[in-house]
Structure 1
Amino acid sequence: MGRLDMMIELESEPQWRDDRPKKEEKKRSTTRGSPSRIDDDHNESQSSDEHVTYIQKDYDLYLAAKNDSLHDFLTVLDRASAAEPASYADILRRLSPAGNTYLHVAAKHGNKDIVTYIAAMVASLVSSKNSDGDTPLHLAAKAGQEAVVKALLVHSPAENLLRAKNERRNTALHEALINGHESVAQYLVKEDPTVSCYKNDEGKSVLYLAARYGYADCVRLILQLSPNPEHIVEQLKEKSPIHAAIKGKNRDVLEAMLNMNANLVQLRDAEGRNPLHYAASLGYLEEVRYLLDKCSPSATQRDNSGSFPIHLASIYGSVDIISLLLQDCPCPEELLDRKGLNILHLAARNGRYNIVRYILSNPALEKLINMKDRNGNTPLHLATKEWHPRIVSALTWDKRVDVKIVNDDGMTALDVAEYYMKYNSQFRQRLTWAALKAAGTPRSLRQTTAGGHNSKKSSNMENYKDRVNTLLLVSTLVATVTFAAGFTVPGGYNTSDTDLGIAAMLREKGFHIFVFGDTIAMFSSIVVAVVLIWAQLGDLTLALNALTLAVPLLGIALTMMAMAFTAGVFLAVSKLRWLSTAVLVMGITFFMILVVLLLPLCTPITSTNRILRYLSFYSFYLLILATRS
């Protein structure tokens, strides 16, 4: 190791302290680096050079413990012992600030000869723990040093050392598995199979970790040597190794466990879920197929909440798994949870559009479409309540969906939307409401009689006023700009007597486009301004009608203004071909972007007219994408 490397490593290596029992006539001297025990008869004014000498000797010993040379280690140990003076055992008991002994260091770096020597010299150090609660065996297992693990077990009672836990309640076997050292783990299992039942502070057993990380041979060994098979079964009800194998997609581990004990496939966890529940919730098709082959009745077992595996597949959006589970289920309408929810209810409530589309396209599942849950809610009610506009749109476009159905509260899906919009009206909720309106969803007689819609109108008047004021401001700005452009035409005016005041580019086609665009924009914005003034009269119905007319007209005004601008600039630079072409390309590109952005805002997405509804279909979905709904 070069001097520079040693200096850099010295800054990061632990400082050492003497952990021996102190006699009354001696005291401890603390310095930067490796504290050493200094006798009272040493002068307190001892030079800094002498302190550096002691520090360097301890650090040299630390480096020797890291390097795989017993000869070098003994040479440095002998030199340090003679310099203080101190016995070998006293020096070997010293600890770093992290509580590590030289045995910890040697074990971590796989120096078997040094480990054997220190363990024989001071046997008590084999079971000593650092500040993290790690014994040398923990560090050796964590680093995958199998030879060192075997050497340590020779010098200490195997049971005590193997069952020792650190601050995270991990045994050395836990650490070997967590850090990916399967061969070390197998050796430790053979030494003490009882440790396989131990759990750490996360409740994870050794069997769970072996299954989670895909160590099939280790799993087999644990199951074969387990002294208490009943305890292994108990573990499956908490942190289940079978669930861990499924989560890690470790088929060989899953097969190993089920081949050892086929009854494990029916065991439940704390939530009452069997392995098939778990595989279905994760969307693992191959694991589901394998578990069905092992135990098909598990597909019709409920968990503690009353859910079947197919319900979890619906909640998490696994179409392939639902299709597989339905193959052996002739009556899917019988698969209800304790709230009376079928798979379409759950998909609609949780926003699983792919599941909804699959069910709507499958004639065998038609009976699910208008089914009610325990509260009388259909899938349309639930999708509305959770504000899933895409799913509401898909349901309302299907003619088999009855939008007139009321739940046990006497509310249609539109009533549900308007009821909850009173408290929080966001754009996603407005899209859901718009989809229901476009489908002609009625209000219930009870809600209409109660005047709920009228109260909603009055409460939302302030919101509509803000929109009216914003549009009025924009229309005024467009009218001002287009008015000014009409008298500052491209190319200016002729000054000759015969054509005085006539536009110089009157006969150019680009000028004609400019004039048409500017004129349409000017008058459209003026009409919008007048319409919005009517909307200020305080009547909500009048405001809604004004907005319905004003928004499309304002969209036309903005589009025409952009067209007029492009035509005017094109005319001004038409003599330079590349520049005029660039202006034309940019103008057309941004004109198309403008149309795409304005189309959803100007399309009547709430219209029940069949033609208008088809025309606004893509605008509606563009709004859904824009709002990530």
Structure 2
Amino acid sequence: MQPDDADAARSLVDMCPSLYLAAQRGRTEEVMALLLQRHGAATADCQASGIIMHGQCSILEVTTERNTVLHVAAEQGHGELLRELYLRFRFTEQGLLSRRNSALDTPLHCAARAGSDKAVEVLVKLAQDCSESFLGCKNEAGDTALHLAARHGRATAVEVLVSAASEPAAELNNAGVSPLYLAVMSGSVQAVRAITRACKAASASSLGPSSQNALHAAVFQSSEMVGLLLEWRPALADQVDSSSSSPLHFASSDGDCKIVEAILRLAPPKAVYRKDSGGLSALHIAARMGHHRVVDGLLGSCPDAAELRDDGGRTFLHAAARAKRSSVVSRAVKSPTLRRLLDAPDKDGNTPLHLAVAAGAPGVVEALLRKGKVRPDALNNDGHTALDLAAGSNSFFTMVKLVVTLVAFGAQLRPQRQDHLKKWSGRDIVHEIEKTSDSLAVVAVLIAASAFAAGFNVPGGYSDAGEANLAGKFAFKSFLFLDTVAVATSVVAVTLLVYGKVSRSAGSWKSFAAALLCMWVSLISLMLAFCTALDAVVTQRPVYQSGLVAIYLCIYLLYFCITWRIKPANTWLTVWRFLWLRSRSEGRHVIVMRRQYPLVDASVLYFCLFTAISLLAFFIFLFIFGKVVLHLL
């Protein structure tokens, strides 16, 4: 604190409550009466409120945070009160408008922060009429009044301030942030327009944190704001932040095509080729985020940008494959101009296919092999093919999809001694089976018990002769058959689960998979048996049958959704190709594949059986309730 400030601090007087309340409420006459009254005088309002006056109020009185009566009035937007106070005391009290509180705010700071347009206009007009220069004053945080108005999106206040003095637009606060950057962050297009119109491109700063400029922030706001900034200063598009990322990098990561188009339309052409500190261009970023329309826009603007590589020698296709962005890869493989990039290796010799397999992206793998027709047996610098890299997958379903897709399109393992092959062991199969078998065995026993009990409590009951009352009905006969199947398959499932748990070998997964298949058959049979039992005894058939069919169709819809998620390849055509290739005795690479991935072959067959059984059950259901289904359709 300077000596003058210390003297001023010692002379400060606490503001009397009546003066504070009157200033806060904007009562100009009451404030003036309090400041001009004689010793011991009090207004009627103060007496009525029970506030005791202690002598004459002074214009120098402050609150606990050292706010003067002008600060209080400015914060509440009372412009007329500010004008009256200044005109009455300007000759007796110098520097009245530039007084600071404990945060070093002037009354103009308070008015700008509160967005009090009238108060800001009055203070700016008074500043122009007097010799005080406080428009560029900074508070404790280094903010000018323009910083505060811009931060809170006070467009009118910003316009008044920059029209009166454009110099504060070039100032940075203690965080190194300009008013223009704060205006962008507030989302106020009007505030940004006011600064860009009032200030020349060279006279205002656009800096923000981490060496960003206002355009870096604007790409997350609106295309209109981006257009304003680029028309004001086109060079913003080529400036980079502390990570060497340009605004186009930011826009490409967000994926808004309109904003990217606005930058491409007004920015220098070299902005597309700009790389960040990791060597990534905007095209790499858009591909990695899966914004295929942005990729199309960037390539349409600069077709040769497709050749850009990062520090690892990877193109945008490598980035898309590594990030599992099948939409970008699917569009790229259709372009004849990009075909040369499909098999392009990076510095490690990895093609996009290698990276897609390593990332566990079956959709990208299929797009590259089916539509791109890439070489499935390309070797990287470590001598590995894409099929070799599938061994790195920890997920069973992902591994199966990768291997099935690769083998279906002719992928091979690298040449090596077969006794050195390591079987896939993404997870401890024995441990997983043991952990799951106990729960499944309980479920299988419950299914068997339910089906067994249903066999002795047949629908319709028994006659006095001990015969079933509904024995002649087709629905009853169907119930008996389906219930018998449910009991038999659930018992077999329990047997297989117990055997698999006792054997404790890597081959126990086969009995485990067979048990799952039997449990699925028993569940479907039990459901169908329940439907046929109800159909045999319910009298209100149309209403009941329609509801039953609707519920059952919803269950099958859920089943098909699950099947779609766990199928061994992205398309059924790929599954058929794999099965056809598997059946060929001359497919030597299939035999080698079975040695390293022994679970794949059988899992595909089990899945096909699972699907066939489900379809058979669906057709049985249609056979039983065919007329109702046709009626609903």
Question: In structure 1, what is the equivalent of residue 29 of structure 2?
Answer: 71
Question: In structure 1, what is the equivalent of residue 436 of structure 2?
Answer: 467
Question: In structure 2, what is the equivalent of residue 270 of structure 1?
Answer: 242
**SS of the residue 2:346 aligns to:** coil
Give CA deviations for 1:2-24 in whole Å, capped at 9, x if unaligned: xxxxxxxxxxxxxxxxx98489x
The reply to whether residue 555 of structure 1 matches residue 520 of structure 2 is yes
Residues paired across the two proteins, number:
549
Q: Are the equivalent residues in 1 in contact too, given 2:238–2:270 (CA < 8 A)?
A: no
In 1: Cα distance, 2:235 partner to 2:561 partner:
60
**More moved, 260-269 vs 434-443:** 260-269
Look up the equivalent residue of 1:493 and give its one-letter code.
Answer: Y
Look up the equivalent residue of 2:528 and give its one-letter code.
Answer: M
Q: Are the equivalent residues in 2 in contact too, given 1:491–1:504 (CA < 8 A)?
A: yes
Q: CA deviation at 1:432?
A: 1.9
Q: CA deviation at 1:218?
A: 1.8
Look up the equivalent residue of 1:431 and give its one-letter code.
Answer: F
Question: In structure 2, what is the equivalent of residue 153 of structure 1?
Answer: 127
In 1: Cα distance, 2:370 partner to 2:39 partner:
89
In 2: Cα distance, 1:321 partner to 1:486 partner:
63
In 2: Cα distance, 1:587 partner to 1:304 partner:
57
Look up the equivalent residue of 1:317 and give its one-letter code.
Answer: G
How do 1:365-514 and structure 2 match up within 5 A? 365-395=338-368, 397-398=370-371, 400-419=373-392, 421=394, 429-439=395-405, 440=407, 442-445=412-415, 449-453=419-423, 456=425, 459-496=428-465, 501-514=466-479
Give CA deviations for 1:470-508 in whole Å, capped at 9, x if unaligned: 333322222222122112211222322xxxx33221112
In 1: Cα distance, 2:565 partner to 2:157 partner:
66
State the TM-score, normalizing by the size of structure 1: 0.75
In 2: Cα distance, 1:280 partner to 1:458 partner:
38
Question: In structure 1, what is the equivalent of residue 74 of structure 2?
Answer: 107
Question: In structure 2, what is the equivalent of residue 216 of structure 1?
Answer: 193
Give CA deviations for 1:508-567 in whole Å, capped at 9, x if unaligned: 222122112211212222222333344235465522322333323321211111111222
Q: CA deviation at 1:409?
A: 3.2
**SS of the residue 1:137 aligns to:** helix
**SS of the residue 1:452 aligns to:** coil
Note the residue ranges of structure 2 that are not aligned, 5 or more in a row. Answer: 1-7, 42-52, 580-603, 612-633
Question: In structure 2, what is the equivalent of residue 6 of structure 1?
Answer: none
Q: Are the equivalent residues in 2 in contact too, given 1:413–1:436 (CA < 8 A)?
A: no
Question: In structure 1, what is the equivalent of residue 586 of structure 2?
Answer: none
- Closer, same or farther: CA 127–243 of 1 in aligned 2, 3 Å: same
- Closer, same or farther: CA 543–361 of 1 in aligned 2, 3 Å: farther
Q: CA deviation at 1:349?
A: 1.8
In 2: Cα distance, 1:604 partner to 1:296 partner:
46
Q: Are the equivalent residues in 1 in contact too, given 2:401–2:568 (CA < 8 A)?
A: no
**SS of the residue 2:138 aligns to:** coil
Look up the equivalent residue of 2:55 and give its one-letter code.
Answer: A
Look up the equivalent residue of 1:106 and give its one-letter code.
Answer: A
Look up the equivalent residue of 1:67 and give its one-letter code.
Answer: R
- Closer, same or farther: CA 220–584 of 1 in aligned 2, 3 Å: closer
In 2: Cα distance, 1:384 partner to 1:556 partner:
34
The reply to whether residue 62 of structure 1 matches residue 20 of structure 2 is yes
Give CA deviations for 1:235-268 in whole Å, capped at 9, x if unaligned: 79923123334332244x5555544555444333
Question: In structure 2, what is the equivalent of residue 135 of structure 1?
Answer: 106
In 2: Cα distance, 1:489 partner to 1:360 partner:
61
**SS of the residue 2:531 aligns to:** helix
In 1: Cα distance, 2:513 partner to 2:477 partner:
31
The reply to whether residue 588 of structure 1 matches residue 552 of structure 2 is yes
- Closer, same or farther: CA 246–589 of 1 in aligned 2, 3 Å: closer
Q: Are the equivalent residues in 2 in contact too, given 1:518–1:564 (CA < 8 A)?
A: yes
State the TM-score, normalizing by the size of structure 2: 0.75
In 1: Cα distance, 2:606 partner to 2:340 partner:
30
Q: Are the equivalent residues in 2 in contact too, given 1:94–1:101 (CA < 8 A)?
A: yes
Give CA deviations for 1:197-217 in whole Å, capped at 9, x if unaligned: 222344320232345533224
Note the residue ranges of structure 1 that are not aligned, 5 or more in a row. Answer: 1-18, 29-34, 37-57, 422-428, 621-629
In 2: Cα distance, 1:66 partner to 1:308 partner:
55
Give CA deviations for 1:343-365 in whole Å, capped at 9, x if unaligned: 12111222323212212333432
Q: CA deviation at 1:156?
A: 7.3
- Closer, same or farther: CA 125–565 of 1 in aligned 2, 3 Å: farther
- Closer, same or farther: CA 568–258 of 1 in aligned 2, 3 Å: closer
In 1: Cα distance, 2:555 partner to 2:122 partner:
74
In 2: Cα distance, 1:257 partner to 1:457 partner:
52
In 2: Cα distance, 1:346 partner to 1:216 partner:
38
- Closer, same or farther: CA 457–136 of 1 in aligned 2, 3 Å: closer
Question: In structure 2, what is the equivalent of residue 530 of structure 1?
Answer: 495
Q: CA deviation at 1:85?
A: 4.2
Question: In structure 2, what is the equivalent of residue 15 of structure 1?
Answer: none
In 1: Cα distance, 2:143 partner to 2:390 partner:
53
Of residues 62, 65, 69, the one that matches 1:94 is 62
- Closer, same or farther: CA 157–171 of 1 in aligned 2, 3 Å: farther
In 2: Cα distance, 1:547 partner to 1:502 partner:
40
- Closer, same or farther: CA 156–472 of 1 in aligned 2, 3 Å: farther
- Closer, same or farther: CA 603–182 of 1 in aligned 2, 3 Å: closer
**SS of the residue 1:88 aligns to:** coil
- Closer, same or farther: CA 280–596 of 1 in aligned 2, 3 Å: closer
In 1: Cα distance, 2:123 partner to 2:202 partner:
20
Question: In structure 2, what is the equivalent of residue 543 of structure 1?
Answer: 508
Look up the equivalent residue of 1:559 and give its one-letter code.
Answer: I
Paired-residue identity, % = 27
In 1: Cα distance, 2:124 partner to 2:525 partner:
85
Q: Are the equivalent residues in 1 in contact too, given 2:98–2:106 (CA < 8 A)?
A: yes
- Closer, same or farther: CA 365–449 of 1 in aligned 2, 3 Å: farther
- Closer, same or farther: CA 414–99 of 1 in aligned 2, 3 Å: farther
In 1: Cα distance, 2:540 partner to 2:142 partner:
79
Q: Are the equivalent residues in 2 in contact too, given 1:353–1:390 (CA < 8 A)?
A: yes
Q: Are the equivalent residues in 1 in contact too, given 2:223–2:258 (CA < 8 A)?
A: no
Question: In structure 1, what is the equivalent of residue 530 of structure 2?
Answer: 565
In 1: Cα distance, 2:566 partner to 2:290 partner:
34
In 2: Cα distance, 1:416 partner to 1:157 partner:
77
Look up the equivalent residue of 1:170 and give its one-letter code.
Answer: D
Q: CA deviation at 1:138?
A: 0.7
Look up the equivalent residue of 1:139 and give its one-letter code.
Answer: C
Q: CA deviation at 1:174?
A: 0.8
The reply to whether residue 176 of structure 1 matches residue 149 of structure 2 is yes
Q: CA deviation at 1:75?
A: 3.0
Look up the equivalent residue of 1:204 and give its one-letter code.
Answer: V
Give CA deviations for 1:152-185 in whole Å, capped at 9, x if unaligned: 52687654x2333334432100111222333432
In 1: Cα distance, 2:298 partner to 2:564 partner:
40
In 2: Cα distance, 1:603 partner to 1:237 partner:
47
Q: Are the equivalent residues in 1 in contact too, given 2:121–2:157 (CA < 8 A)?
A: no
Question: In structure 1, what is the equivalent of residue 251 of structure 2?
Answer: 279
